[in-house]
Amino acid sequence: MTRVVLDTNVLVSGLGWSGPPAAILDAALAGELTLLTSPALIAKLRRVLGYRKLAAAFANPNTIASLVANASVTITTSSQLQVVNDDSDNRVLEAALDGAADYVVSGDDDLLSLRTFQRIPILTPAAFLADHRK
């Protein structure tokens, strides 16, 4: 089964709105993908879902983050990477590397500009869906 790390921006978009990120989450919930996460990524998701500008869409950030964690395989990372400037993006790469991910899916330009990391493709949600559905 395809193992994928979803960046926080993809998770938030998929949880709150329709489109490719939501289709990826639907595929994971249908058992077509294995979502990988880490404690650091779940903590960031909790923080982001708690932003005031998202309060109307996400009434209970802690519950939603817990549901994502329960629907995912949680990786205890041992890598400590400094590949990109945004430290939280390095946590995405750590989860992908230590979780033997097949893909990283992100909308973040810093991650997308890498194109691959340690042979792991880094794709937008739309590009991932196109590649995964081949």
Residue pLDDT, tens place only, 67-102: 999 999 999 988 787 788 788 899 999 999 999 999
Q: In the predicted model, what is the mean pLDDT of the chain?
A: 93
| Domains in the chain with CATH codes | 2-132 (3.40.50.1010)
% helix / strand / coil in the chain, to the nearest 5? Answer: 50, 15, 35
Higher pLDDT, 133 or 41: 41
Strand partners, 5: 36, 104
Contact (CB, 8 A) for 8 and 44: yes
